[in-house]
């Protein structure tokens, strides 16, 4: 026998009993995005490799070791998108949506990173990304955070997610800080691990982001970026905190929060949970004003975030409860030559009359007993039973499958108003 071909490690099927919870989350996302005036954009899954190198940064985890990069048949280097910010900005620059304009956008879909697969960390995963262009003030940073809070609330997850905030200042301030940081870590070189020693040359801020517990102490003692802030950076961060206070958003300021991507400046934030173990960051984002110029556009403001859909869905309580929304309301059983012929037209007329009715018809023949079994398995609330007698009399049997109410008979003419009560 031929060997089964399996899915690629770290890339998962989302099976039919799981799609209802995805649909639920996606419906809430769409509603909340619309409630704040964000519009959807859809980009290709593949971009030129150069786009990610130039935006995310050559010395980030993503570009150094996580990208799915390949040569296509023309010899061009292409990459499966590891995130959406770069592609979204590329699309908006290409279509003239950036210069002198303001846009609020969102996208959702699969991202690809060659990481070590584990719970909450996959090689194909899904993100919701939200980006706001052309708005430089802290008011839009606050709006994005409020939008997140509403998402968690509507999903019943408000109590599970905590907000951490920091400011990375401007590029110049970071440069001054970088020098101090390098000096500090050089003086503590012995305490650094191999990764951090390498980062010391390439991207010393990332050392602060290290997940190695042995480095905690030396990181605790490092100088703080906020000491380098000029008036503008201070005012921006202060403006954000004031707005959050005003709206009653709880947050913690975490001076070690630097994020893994190079393009951030000023505000950065993460929503974290204690419930998912090591993969506790559900949503992360920040301001990236410099990226537009870096990609060849005219300088303008940009801020955004991405949330991991798998991690969000893992947080849902009783996710099975969403399956009811996908189960049929009714299951039509038909036994006998006349009944089987009449059943098809009957079912079609019911769908005509009730467009949101979910009606599943039995296929594949069999007696009452085996058809009832299928009806039960389908999750339907009622079985509609058509035998030859009912077909002749224009009646139909009704059996409630989820309660003890016995079987009744209705005139077919009354069926629409009966089914309406189930929808």
Q: Does 297 bind ligand ATP (CB under 6 A)?
A: no
**3-state DSSP assignment of residue 344:** helix
Least CB distance to ligand ATP at residue 12 (A): 10
Interaction mask 258-287, ligand ATP, x per CB under 6 A: --x------------------x-xxxx---
Q: Is 85 annotated in some ligand binding site?
A: yes
Let me know: does 67 contact 49? Beta carbons within 8 Å. yes
Size of the site for ligand ATP (CB under 6 A): 19
Q: Which of 336, 352, 344 is nearest to 392 (CA)?
A: 336
**3-state DSSP assignment of residue 262:** coil
Least CB distance to ligand ATP at residue 126 (A): 8
Q: Nearer Cβ to ligand ATP, position 263 or 331?
A: 263
Least CB distance to ligand ATP at residue 9 (A): 12
Q: Is 173 annotated in some ligand binding site?
A: no
Entry field: residues in the chain:
423
Least CB distance to ligand ATP at residue 376 (A): 37
Least CB distance to ligand ATP at residue 219 (A): 16
Beta bridge partners of 164: 252, 270
> Which of these ranges, 98-106, 151-159, 307-315, 410-418, lies near ligand ATP under the rule CB under 6 A?
307-315
Q: Nearer Cβ to ligand ATP, position 127 or 170?
A: 127
Least CB distance to ligand ATP at residue 187 (A): 28
Rounded to an integer, what distance in angstroms lies between the CA atom of residue 147 and that of residue 265? Answer: 20
Q: Nearer Cβ to ligand ATP, position 105 or 283?
A: 283
Q: Does 306 bind ligand ATP (CB under 6 A)?
A: yes
Q: Is 420 annotated in some ligand binding site?
A: no
Q: Does 310 bind ligand ATP (CB under 6 A)?
A: yes
What Cα–Cα distance (Å) separates residue 55 from each residue in 86, 262, 288? 6, 8, 10
Interaction mask 166-205, ligand ATP, x per CB under 6 A: ----------------------------------------
- Residue 168 backbone zone (phi > 0: left; psi -120 to 50: alpha; other: beta): alpha
Q: Nearer Cβ to ligand ATP, position 107 or 229?
A: 107
Task: Tell which positions 38-97 bind ligand ATP, by CB under 6 A.
Answer: 83
Sheet holding 359-361, edge to edge: 359-361, 330-335, 382-387, 395-400, 407-411
Which tokens sit at 9?
């490690």
Least CB distance to ligand ATP at residue 270 (A): 7
Task: Tell which positions 109-128 bind ligand ATP, by CB under 6 A.
Answer: 113, 115, 120-122, 125, 127
Least CB distance to ligand ATP at residue 259 (A): 6
Rounded to an integer, what distance in angstroms lies between the CA atom of residue 231 and that of residue 234? Answer: 5
Let me know: does 362 contact 332? Beta carbons within 8 Å. yes
Q: Nearer Cβ to ligand ATP, position 12 or 99?
A: 12
Q: Does 131 bind ligand ATP (CB under 6 A)?
A: no
Q: Is 31 annotated in some ligand binding site?
A: no
Let me know: does 131 contact 106? Beta carbons within 8 Å. yes
Q: Nearer Cβ to ligand ATP, position 25 or 335?
A: 25
Which tokens sit at 223?
């100088």
Between β-strands 252-253 and 395-400, what pairing exists: parallel, antiparallel or unpaired?
unpaired
Q: Is 281 annotated in some ligand binding site?
A: no
Let me know: does 46 contact 79? Beta carbons within 8 Å. yes
Q: Is 263 annotated in some ligand binding site?
A: yes
Alpha helices in 98-230 (DSSP H): 138-154, 171-187, 194-202, 216-220
Rounded to an integer, what distance in angstroms lies between the CA atom of residue 328 and that of residue 170? Answer: 56
Q: Does 308 bind ligand ATP (CB under 6 A)?
A: yes
Let me know: does 282 contact 273? Beta carbons within 8 Å. yes
Q: Is 84 annotated in some ligand binding site?
A: yes
Residue number closest to ligand ATP, CB atom: 308
Q: Is 201 annotated in some ligand binding site?
A: no
Q: Does 18 bind ligand ATP (CB under 6 A)?
A: no
CA angle 267, 270, 276 (to 5 degrees): 175
Q: Residue 121 carries which DSSP code?
A: B
Between β-strands 359-361 and 330-335, what pairing exists: parallel, antiparallel or unpaired?
parallel
Q: Is 299 annotated in some ligand binding site?
A: no
Rounded to an integer, what distance in angstroms lies between the CA atom of residue 128 and that of residue 110? Answer: 9
Residue ranges of the binding site for L-histidine: 83-85, 113, 127, 131, 259, 263-264
Q: Which residues bind ligand ATP (CB under 6 A)?
A: 83, 113, 115, 120-122, 125, 127, 260, 279, 281-284, 306-308, 310-311
């Amino acid at each position: 026998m031929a060997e089964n071909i399996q899915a690629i490690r770290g890339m998962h099927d989302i099976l039919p009993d799981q799609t209802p919870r995805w649909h639920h989350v996606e419906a809430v996302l769409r509603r909340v995005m619309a409630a704040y005036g964000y519009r959807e954009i859809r980009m290709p899954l593949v971009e030129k490799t150069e786009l990610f190198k130039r935006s995310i940064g050559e010395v980030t985890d993503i570009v150094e070791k996580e990208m799915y990069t390949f040569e296509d048949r023309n010899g061009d280097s292409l990459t499966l998108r590891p995130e959406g910010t770069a592609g979204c900005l590329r699309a908006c620059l290409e279509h003239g949506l950036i210069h002198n304009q303001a846009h609020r956008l969102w996208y959702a879909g699969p991202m690809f990173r060659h990481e070590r697969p584990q719970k909450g960390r996959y090689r194909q995963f899904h993100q919701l990304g939200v980006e706001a262009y052309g708005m430089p003030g802290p008011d839009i940073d606050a709006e994005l955070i409020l939008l997140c809070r509403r998402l968690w609330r509507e999903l019943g997850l408000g109590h599970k997610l905590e907000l951490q905030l920091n400011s990375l200042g401007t590029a110049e301030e970071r440069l001054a800080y970088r020098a101090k940081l390098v000096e500090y870590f050089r003086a503590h070189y012995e305490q650094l691990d191999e990764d951090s020693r390498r980062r010391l040359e390439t991207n010393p801020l990332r050392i602060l982001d290290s997940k190695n517990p042995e480095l905690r102490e030396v990181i605790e003692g490092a100088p703080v970026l906020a000491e380098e802030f000029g008036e503008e950076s201070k005012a921006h961060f202060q403006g954000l905190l004031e707005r959050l206070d005003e709206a009653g958003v709880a947050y913690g300021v975490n001076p070690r929060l630097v994020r893994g991507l190079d393009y951030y400046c000023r505000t950065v934030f993460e929503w974290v949970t204690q419930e998912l173990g090591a993969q506790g960051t559900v949503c992360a984002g920040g301001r990236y004003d410099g990226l537009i110029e870096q990609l060849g556009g005219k300088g303008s403001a940009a801020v955004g975030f991405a949330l991991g859909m798998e991690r969000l869905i893992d947080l849902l309580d009783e996710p099975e409860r969403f399956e009811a929304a996908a189960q049929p309301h009714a299951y039509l059983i038909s036994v006998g030559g006349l009944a089987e012929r009449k059943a098809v037209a009957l079912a079609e007329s019911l769908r005509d009359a009730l467009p949101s009715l979910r009606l599943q018809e039995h296929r594949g023949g069999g007696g009452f007993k085996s058809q009832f079994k299928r009806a039960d398995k389908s999750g339907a609330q009622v079985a509609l039973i058509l035998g030859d007698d009912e077909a002749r009399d224009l009646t139909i049997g009704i059996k409630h499958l989820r309660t003890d109410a016995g079987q009744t008979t209705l005139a077919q003419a009354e069926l629409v108003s009966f089914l309406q009560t189930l929808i």
